[in-house]
Structure 1
Amino acid sequence: MAAGAPRIFVSHLSGVAVFDPSGDQVGRVRDLVVMLRVGRRPPRVLGLVVELSTRRRIFLPMTRVTGIESGQVITTGVLNVRRFEQRPTERLVFGELLDRRVALVETGEEVTVLDLSVQQLPARRDWEIDRVFVRKGRKSRGFRRAKGETLTVEWSAVTGFSLEEHGQGAENLLATFEQLHPADLANVLHHLSPKRRAEVAAALDDDRLADVLEELPEDDQIEILGKLQGERAADVLEAMDPDDAADLLGELPEEEKERLLSLMEPADAAEMRRLMAYEEHTAGGLMTTEPIVLRPDATVADALARVRNRDLSPALAAQVYVCRPPDETPTGKYLGTVHFQRLLRDPPYTLVSALIDDDPQTLAPGAALPLVAGFFATYDMVAAPVVDDSGALLGAVTVDDVLDHMLPDDWRETEFDLDADGAEDEGMAAHGS
């Protein structure tokens, strides 16, 4: 980048695509790595944490960055794909510096860090954090943004970044990742320190945290749930998909499980107990109890209105289940399934009972995982009904739940398949070189 280049605020770098010189995207920026220096010298930006398409996070030294412009980062094209590991002397900008409480040197007044700007030094490839965007006033509480004067000051005008802070907020960190898919935000949380992970989880609303918890490794789920206040933990469990919440509850000590169940709404607690009664790797243990259930006299228009619910996963929205009353699981007699494509082909006034499959295929709640997987493969299903001996619909198993249980237990903590050893042989020097 040429001398005199404009400063760049780090919030604008979150999620920015990283390209090699030929124009191929290699990943996205997830954080910046800096080194604090003694006195009031601005921190040196060592490099970027880049998440590859494989979900592996690597370190990209700033010396390999040839340009940051138009919402993209251009590199030399030579990457070391060794997994990034933070060193004791390094700090992560998004993960550790945003939302900190620091003090203005001149007045001693406490301010909150909203953003930081970086700039390339003239005639060099070195980058520094040169300015800090802060807000005066009291620290924000809960989800309400604290009001106060905002100003941009030189790095040397503030102090306190090197001190450990307890109760650090997460408002501005979350703002940088606002548009992330829950699975990607879960990946961000997984790579934060336990302290920051707890602070970010506390700042998320119940529905967003529930979505993120469903995508986290089991150890992270238990850790976060254990740090939430009792009633908040129960609320988050109620917001999760029932099958995921039941799986998480099943991993807790008996005393803690019963305590949380006692704090939940009676109907939700009863649903959790029903799901936990099934073996984990069976259709009953895999199913969700909240598929789309319609009565025989419902119309195609009714069905499409239910399918449009944005909170439904694509697999659950792919079909509706026609049953006699009651409509909640366990239902009355299960009559059959109508797939989304069939709903699109018939007039809105058509009764769904006229469109059900002639030979409905179902799973028994005790069906083992291999049988369930074979069922999906045989009938090209994305979701399948689970029906008991009396003919009542108990729930539905979705293909993503089958995959979750067929993959290794630690699959969320590992990258997708990548020939890392071969790529590293051709890569550049190790992180920090």
Structure 2
Amino acid sequence: MAAGAPRVFVSHLAGTAVFDPNGDQVGRVRDVVALLGGRRRLPSVLGLVVEVVSRRRVFLPMTRVTGVESGQVITTGVLNIRRFERRPNERLVLGELLDRQVTLVETGEEVTVLDVGLQRLPARRDWEIDRLFVRKGRKGGGLRSRRGEALTVEWDAVTGFNLEEPEQGTANLLATFEQLRPADLANVLHHLSEKRRAEVAAALHDDRLADVLEELPDDDQVEIINKLADERAALVLEAMDPDDAADLLGELPEDDKERLLDLMQPQEAAPVRRLLSYEEGTAGSLMTTEPIVLRPDASVAEALARVRLEDLPAPLASQVYVCRPPDETPTGKYLGVVHFQRLLREPPFALVGALVDADLRPLPPTASVPALTSYLAAYNIVSAPVVDEGGHLLGAVTVDDVLDDLLPEGWREAAAEGGLPGFVPGPHERPEAPAAPGGAARGPDGREPEDG
């Protein structure tokens, strides 16, 4: 660490890129591992939880960190890719210490932990927790809250970290991850304890939670939705894509599924009920009911404006579907599809009705996954129209939906743990645990041997 920066706060470490000595990025910091009950007066910082390119979370000992400066962490080189597993006596600083309610020893006042300061010991590679940034009064409000006095105190000035807290806040934990994409935040939630996961899920806005749920493994989805109040769960399901909401509801007992569907707005529940009516493993069960639908008199400019919508998944943005009114699925008569590249080649005032590719035959909702796979491969497309016997567009099946069905059961769990099939470690990710400085042996996960 540079001489002018003897301390770093964990909120500044969250998401920080980790580089090797050559300047190649090897991962990002997702948490800090500390030992609160060791022999030292101050808690020892054992290492960092680093998410590598495969999304696996590994342990990086602090003895292998050579610098924390300019928004980056520098390591000595090779990472041990054994999946990180927290030991019983270890604490995750971001996941478990932020938002804790503790007590000032001198006054007995309750304060909320907003941030945690780490300091590197002089002339050593050892780190310890020495400072806390806290706020007096009620917990909550985040780093920018004006409620209560905020102050920095020594670690010894507070007590209560070892007490079980029934309801721990989430504002400051969420503030450290507010810029994460839904898939990355889902990975964070997956690695939290069940209690902490429920607290974070309860604190997320409905739309944000909906996006995150879509990226979580089935077991985590069910766990979270079951811990929400029914009214809140219905709102979150309404914010999810209908196909993802249907997949989640399909994992619930029949009584729970019907109760939540009844609580949803009728117009939001209707497409979900329709998706649930199709046999599993068919185009009808895999499709989304919200593709881009345009009338034949819509212009190319209007079509491109719809394609440019920020929240639209890339496969759905690859083409627009031209139909007679009504525009919502099931639509009026399906006329054909216009591919994105064709839209780019035509003048803005051209009408999409004159550009349809009528040769691309639609699929019935009963089409099997093998038929879907062959269809997408044969036509070199990433989205396929699904049309009923009456010629009405029901939805579209995208390549990611097909892959989701083709991949082995539990693939999301494997991805969250970095165990994707066929992953080959890169030059900075090796399974061997390197020796500690001075030749001391390391454990199989790269940690130093425990004291005592």
TM-score range, shorter chain: over 0.9
Q: CA deviation at 1:42?
A: 2.0
Alignment of 1:342-381 (within 5 A): 342-381=342-381
**Counterpart mapping for 1:8-407 below 5 A:** 8-37=8-37, 41-140=41-140, 145=145, 147-407=147-407
2-structure distance, mates of 1:131, 1:231: 41
* Deviating 4+ runs (over 6 angstroms): 141-144
CA distance in 2, matches of 1:385, 1:427: 53
- Contact 1:4 1:122 (8 Å CA) reproduced: no
Instruction: Indicate how the Cα distance of structure 1 residues 130 and 49 shifts in structure 2: closer, same or farther if over 3 A, else same.
Output: same
CA contact (8 A) 1:3 1:121 kept: no
Deviation at residue 6 of structure 1 after TM alignment: 2.2
> For each residue in 1:76-107, what CA deviation from the matched residue of structure 2 results, as whole angstroms up to 9, or x when unmatched?
11321111100000000111000111111111
2:439 matched to which residue of 1? none
Q: Which residue of 2 aligns with 1:423?
A: 430
Deviation at 1:353, TM superposition (A): 0.2
User: Distance in 2 between the 1:426 and 1:195 partners?
Assistant: 32
Quickly say closer, same or farther: Cα 1:144–1:74, change in 2 above 3 A.
Answer: closer
* Paired residues of 1:82 and 1:420 also in contact (CA < 8 A): no
Distance 2:117 2:430 in 1: 33
CA distance in 2: counterparts of 1:358 and 1:269, whole angstroms:
32
Q: Quick one: which amino acid aligns to residue 404 of structure 2?
A: D
Separation in 2 of the partners of 1:198 and 1:48? 24
| CA–CA distance in structure 2, aligned partners of residues 418 and 251 of structure 1 | 29
Say which SS state the counterpart of residue 102 (structure 2) adopts: strand
Secondary structure at the aligned position of 2:245 is classed as helix
Give the Å deviation of 1:196. Answer: 0.5
**Alpha-carbon distance, 1:39 to partner:** 9.7
Contact 1:187 1:216 in 2 (8 A): yes
Q: Using the alignment, how far apart are the partners of 1:32 and 1:111 within structure 2? A: 22
Q: Percent identity?
A: 72
Q: Which runs of 5+ in 2 are unaligned?
A: 436-441
Q: Secondary structure at the match of 1:88?
A: coil
CA contact (8 A) 2:64 2:76 kept: yes
- Mark the CA change 1:101 to 1:309 in structure 2 (over 3 Å): closer, same or farther: same
The two structures have a TM-score, normalised by structure 1, of: 0.96
- Relative to the length of structure 2, the TM-score reads 0.92
1:388-414 CA-partner distances (Å, limit 9, x unpaired): 111100001111111111111111111
Distance verdict in 2 for CA 1:390–1:302, change over 3 Å:
same
Q: 1:34 touches 1:91 (CA, 8 Å); kept in 2? A: yes
Determine if contact 2:99/2:139 at 8 Å carries over to the other structure: no
After the TM superposition, which of the residue ranges 104-113 and 211-220 deviates more from structure 2? 104-113
Structure 1 residues 142 and 66: CA distance shift in structure 2, 3 A: closer
Distance of 2:73 and 2:188 partners within structure 1: 20
| 2:338/2:352 contact within 8 Å kept | yes
Given that 1:3 and 1:120 are in contact with CA atoms closer than 8 Å, whether structure 2 keeps it comes out as no
2:99 and 2:140 in contact (8 A); partners too: no
Contact 1:362–1:384, Cα closer than 8 Å, also in 2: yes
Secondary structure in 2 matching 1:107: coil
Q: CA, structure 1 residues 378+261, in 2 after alignment: closer, same or farther (shift >3 Å)? A: same
Which AA in structure 2 matches 1:256? D
Give the Cα separation in 2 of the matches to 1:338 and 1:182.
Answer: 30
The range that moved more, 401-410 or 323-332, is 401-410
Is contact 1:2–1:123 with CA below 8 Å preserved after alignment?
Answer: no
Q: What do you get for the CA RMSD once the two structures are aligned?
A: 2.0
CA distance in 1, matches of 2:433, 2:33: 24
Unaligned runs of 5+ in 1: none
Cα displacement (A) at 1:280:
2.0
Per-residue CA deviation, residues 237-274 of structure 1 (Å, 9 max, x unaligned), is: 01011001001101100111111011101122222111
Give 1:424 deviation, angstroms. Answer: 1.7
